[in-house]
Structures are given as structure tokens and as C-alpha cells.
Amino acid sequence: MSAPPQPPLAPSSATESDSSPLPAQRAVVPVLPARVRIVRWIRRFWPAPLGINGKERLRFIVGAMLGIFLTAMLSRWWVGGGHAHGPWMLGALGASAVLVFGMPSSPLAQPWPVLGGSTLSALVGAVCAALVPDPALAGALAVGLAIALMVPLRCLHPPGGSMALYVVLTASDGLHLAAFPVLFNVLVLLLAGVVYNSLTGRSYPHPQQSPARTASDKSAFAASDVDAALAHYNQVLDVSRADLEGLLYLAGRAAFQRTLGEVRCADIMSRPPFAVEAGVSLKQAWALMRAQKIKALPVVDGRRRVAGIVTVADFMRLANLDVHEGLGQRLRALVMGRGGQPGTVGEIMSHPVQVARVDQHAMDLVPLFSHGGHHHIPIVDHQQCLVGVITQTDLVRTLAVVVQGRDEEEGGGPGAVRQSAPPPGEGSPTAPT
């Protein structure tokens, strides 16, 4: 089998006799024209569409309306029908409703950030208003200190900044406002959010940590990789870590299915395959396997329907591989049919045998090879007749082609995969007897 092409070596300006180190080469970044850079910068102001359908949009709108209406009715009733002198509802609650009902999985919309961020910010605003006479300076300090406290306390909630600023600008009793209407409004809104989101199929409160993975739950990245990426990004993300890891996993699986999901067994199988009938002698089967350098032979009937499979392991098992002394003599006696040993393929073949359809996705064979203990899988057509064989080597070669992108360099599609099949006699059954 020919080795895969190696990438060409980069030319070097040093000769073999020159052992002095070369200076590090920096990547040259092309400088775009000023007009192009300005246009790209302006395009950043154009918002991307929200990835929700009409049903989710309606759920969002109705939930926010119901949450605000219920909070308003209970708050007004609490103060005696709206005849109280002070405010009984705050405008910043509308922003909280957008998060609670529109983004219930967001870390900023969870119950503790909504409750702690709003109430704590109101208290910070009250303290700043009492200690700093200038409203402009007091408002700036209130917002900054509120953020400084919300981040380490894990209750970051954007409307909290509005709460702190509102308390400063109203110049009213901030401690009273923190209890009512802030705390009361938030509690009612959260109760409405828990009930409504649960009834409409949304998890709220939403889990923010990923469950522990089992040994069989493997993917292209580990939890530590996600942590490292988040640490490198070093910005606040409006998505939970668990959701981010889940999205990365789904994206990786979709990309893998896109590149390999359309490859069928017919595209990578070795054909036409070597095969024998059950009545063939072990001597003939062994000679065929040695001559063609293959490790398995499908066993077929008169209509080429797969009845079993015989492998090198079957010969070794009957030759008592555990005892090394005289192994060659025992194996020779087995294939020659001496010493009361079985004489035909049908007597030692493994049956029933795992087969796959010719139009089946090649990805379906991965569990059979990785966990099922199979090394050779016969491929059958719609009449259950043998048409090919796929080995572990065939599948690994296909995976390598996809990963390295050689299928795109050769024109893409299943044809590129077929071009990488080995020539006859190199590792897989490839021709009939």
C-alpha cells in the first residue's frame, strides 16, 4: 500500500553545513484598503437575526406580558389599589422580564442574579445617595459599585445597574425602595417565570453546570478544554457553561456528520470480495488467505448469501494458541485435516455473522468496530447477497481522508474516498476466488 502523500518541505535558506539558527519568521498579515476596513466596521452595527421561530417568539411575548401584568396587579393591590404616594412598580422590571421569559437559560436571568442583583443594587444606590451629595457622581459610583459587588457574588443582572441609578436619582428612601417595590416586584416576577417557563417546556431555573460525563460519553473535547477556552476569551458570555459545552458538542457532531455522514458502505468497501463455501477444505481456505494476505473469508451458500465467516483467529483457536510449543505442527495438522481435526470451513466458521447493507452509512459501522469486537464486516445487497467486505483498515482510512481534507483536494464526494482504497491484496479481501 502506498504511503499517503507528505506535505512538501518548506525551502530553507541555510545549507546543510550552516548550523546557525534562522531568525523566526513572522506571519505576514495583509493590509486591507481603508475603504474595505471602514465598510466592515460599519457592518458591525447591523444586528444579526435572532435564531428563534414564530412559536418561541410568541411564547416570549406572552410570558413577558403575563409576568408584568401579574406583578403590577399584586404590587398595586399590596399598596391599596394604587393610592400610595410612593412608586409601586419599577421600570427596570421590564428589562428583567425580557431576560426571565425570553432567555430563561441565560446566566443573567437565573433567580439568584435577578433577586440578588436587583435588591443589592438598590441598597448600593441608597448608600451612595446618602453619602455623596452630587447626584451625577453618586449615580456613577452606585452603578460601578453595584457591578463590583454583583460579579464576585455571582448575581450579575443588567437591570441591577438601572435599579442603583434609579434610587440615586429619585432621592427617596433607598432602604424602603429595596424592600418595596424592588424586592416584592422581583419575587412576584420570578414566581411567574418559574411557573410559565415550566408550563411552556423551558427549564427554569436552568442548570449552569454540565453533568459529569460517563466513560462512554466521549467527544472531541473535554470539559477542561471548554474551561481553557473561556479563560482565554475572558469576557462575560450570556450563555451558561453547560449550554456552551452542549452547543460545541452538537456543532462538532453536525460537522462530522456533514463530512462523513453521506459516505455509504458501497463507497469504501473492497469488492468483489474473496469468499468460500462451507464445504471448502481448511487447507484450501488457509492457502487462499495466505496467498492473498487477508485475515478473513466470508462463507457463502450457492446463491452467495452470507452464512458465516472464517478468520485467522478461528484457525488459531483450534490450534490451541495458548500452548506455544509445537504450534506450527498443530496448525499444519489442522489445515491438513489430520489428527481428528475439523476438515471443512463450515465446521469452524463463526455464525451468525454481522453484516451491513450496501447503502448503509459508513458511520453506522463505527460502534461495531470500536465496541462490538468486529474486524471484518461483509456487505450485502438488497437480496442479502455478498457484494463486498469492509475492514477496520478501510474505515480508518476513510476517517483519515475526511480529517485531512484530501477528499476536497481530489474533487470531494464519495469518489475521492473510493480512490484511496488499497490495491488488491493489501489488507482486505478484494477479488473473488
Q: How far apart (Å, rounded) are the C-alpha atoms in residues 155 and 109?
A: 9
Say yes or no: 85 and 165 in one domain.
yes
Say yes or no: 177 and 292 in one domain.
no
Give domain status of residue 281, yes or no. yes
Give domain status of residue 186, yes or no. yes
Give domain status of residue 224, yes or no. no
Give domain status of residue 217, yes or no. no
Q: Quick check: 258 and 281 in contact, CB under 8 A?
A: no
Q: How far apart (Å, rounded) are the C-alpha atoms in residues 209 and 255?
A: 25
Say yes or no: 283 and 357 in one domain.
yes
Angle between helices 392-404 and 241-260 (to 10 degrees): 110
The single-letter code of the amino acid at 284 is Q
Q: Quick check: 313 and 296 in contact, CB under 8 A?
A: no
How many Cβ atoms sit within 10 Å of the Cβ of residue 23? 6
- Averaged pLDDT in 10-residue chunks for the chain of 433 residues: 43 42 55 89 89 92 97 91 74 95 93 96 93 94 97 95 92 80 95 96 84 52 74 74 76 70 84 89 87 90 91 75 52 57 83 90 84 85 92 84 59 44 42 44
Q: Quick check: 350 and 309 in contact, CB under 8 A?
A: yes
- Where among 158, 181, 199 does a domain terminate? 199
Sequence-ordered list of residues with C-beta below 8 angstroms from that of 63, at least 6 positions apart, any chain: 97, 100, 101, 102, 193, 196, 197, 200
Give domain status of residue 432, yes or no. no
Cell numbers representing residue 181 in the block: 417595590
Say yes or no: 182 and 271 in one domain.
no
Say yes or no: 149 and 282 in one domain.
no
Say yes or no: 193 and 274 in one domain.
no
Domains held by the chain: number: 2
pLDDT of the residue at 423 = 41
Say yes or no: 275 and 401 in one domain.
yes
Say yes or no: 189 and 283 in one domain.
no
Could you tell me the CA-to-CA distances from 12 to 27, 104, 211, 301 in Å, in that order?
A: 16, 57, 50, 62
Say yes or no: 273 and 410 in one domain.
yes
> What CATH number has the domain bearing residue 395?
3.10.580.10
Say yes or no: 178 and 317 in one domain.
no
Say yes or no: 195 and 271 in one domain.
no
Domain membership of residue 393 as a residue range? 265-419
Give domain status of residue 75, yes or no. yes
Give domain status of residue 387, yes or no. yes
Give domain status of residue 245, yes or no. no
Say yes or no: 308 and 398 in one domain.
yes
- Where among 170, 199, 228 does a domain terminate? 199
Question: Considering only CA atoms, which of 91, 69, 88 is closest in space to residue 176?
Answer: 88
- Where among 164, 183, 199 does a domain terminate? 199
pTM: predicted TM-score of the whole model, two decimal places: 0.56
pLDDT of the residue at 358 = 92
